[in-house]
């Protein structure tokens, strides 16, 4: 819906009929279109496209916990979840206290397993940042843990590496954490339009409060 605001109106016009026709995104030729606006220039992986389309670094926030099992359309405590209809009036914590989006680190598809006991997974898919097919919860992040946490992500398909670790190689629970290559933290876009650099040393409870829309918390930024 926001593609026209990225000077991508032709792409929006091309894929909207495909969405309305319930076509599988893996078959869209437009899905490999690279949108540099949503790529972080600091990400070591760089531009990434797969058989199911372009992957980007910026994701919306689904709240302060994992977002349920695969494809269950779980309602979470954040602004965005499958089939959500959250408007500003439902953000009871206030738009200046609620996270809307942040950044993640990408990982390549089709990589070999590495690390002790192959805990850094290898395989044919890594779903993080896969925009065109969000079926497995790969387009939202959680504030469950602070930015750049050592705890790995959990997705249905997760190819971990030292920069973007996976807690498990395959998981029904969807848990994707904010990460960046910027020293000391990540950028967080708030629901009021402000962008803050949030330290990776932020208190876990405070960071969780950023993710929820109705926890009655207030958060102060320096």
Q: What is the mean pLDDT of residues 2-31?
A: 91
43 or 219, higher pLDDT: 43
pLDDT at 51: 76
pLDDT at 167: 84
How far apart CA 100 and CA 63 sit, in angstroms, is: 9
pLDDT for 73-105, tens place per residue?
678 899 998 888 899 999 999 999 999 999 999
Give this prediction's pTM: 0.90
pLDDT at 117: 45
Question: How would residue 7 be classed by pLDDT, with cut points 50, 70 and 90?
Answer: very high
Mean pLDDT of the chain: 87
pLDDT for 37-80, tens place per residue?
999 999 988 888 887 889 999 999 999 988 766 556 678 899 99
Secondary structure of the chain as H, E, C letters = CCHHHHCCHHHHHHHHHHHHCCCCHHHCHHHHCCCHHHCCCCCCCCCEEECCEEECCEEEEEECCCCCECCCCCCCCCCCCCCCCCCHHHCCCCHHHCEEEEECCCCCCCECCECHHHCECCECCCCCCECCCCCCCCCEEECCCCCCCCCCEECCCCCCCCCCCECCCCCCECECECCCCCCCEEEEEECCCCEEEEECCCCHHHHHHHHCCCCCCCCCCC
pLDDT at 221: 62
């Amino acid at each position: 819906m926001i593609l026209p605001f990225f000077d991508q109106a032709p792409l929006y016009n091309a894929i909207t009929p495909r969405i309305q026709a319930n076509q599988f995104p893996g078959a869209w030729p437009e899905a490999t279109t690279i949108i540099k606006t949503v790529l972080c220039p600091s990400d070591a992986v760089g531009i990434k496209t797969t058989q199911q389309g372009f992957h980007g670094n910026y994701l919306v926030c689904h709240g302060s916990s994992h977002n349920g099992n695969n494809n269950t359309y779980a309602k979470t405590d954040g602004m965005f979840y499958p089939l959500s209809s959250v408007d500003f009036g439902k953000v009871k914590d206030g738009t200046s206290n609620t996270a809307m989006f942040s950044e993640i680190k990408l990982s390549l598809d089709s990589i070999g397993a590495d690390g002790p006991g192959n805990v850094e997974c290898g395989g044919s898919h890594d779903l993080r940042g896969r925009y065109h097919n969000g079926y497995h919860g790969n387009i939202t992040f959680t504030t469950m843990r602070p930015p750049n946490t050592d705890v790995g992500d959990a997705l249905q398909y997760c190819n971990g590496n030292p920069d973007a670790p996976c807690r498990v190689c395959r998981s029904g629970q969807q848990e994707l954490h904010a990460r960046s290559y910027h020293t000391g933290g990540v950028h967080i876009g708030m629901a009021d339009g402000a962008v803050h650099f949030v330290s990776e040393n932020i208190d876990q409870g405070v960071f969780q409060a950023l993710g929820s829309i109705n926890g009655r918390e207030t958060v102060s930024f320096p």
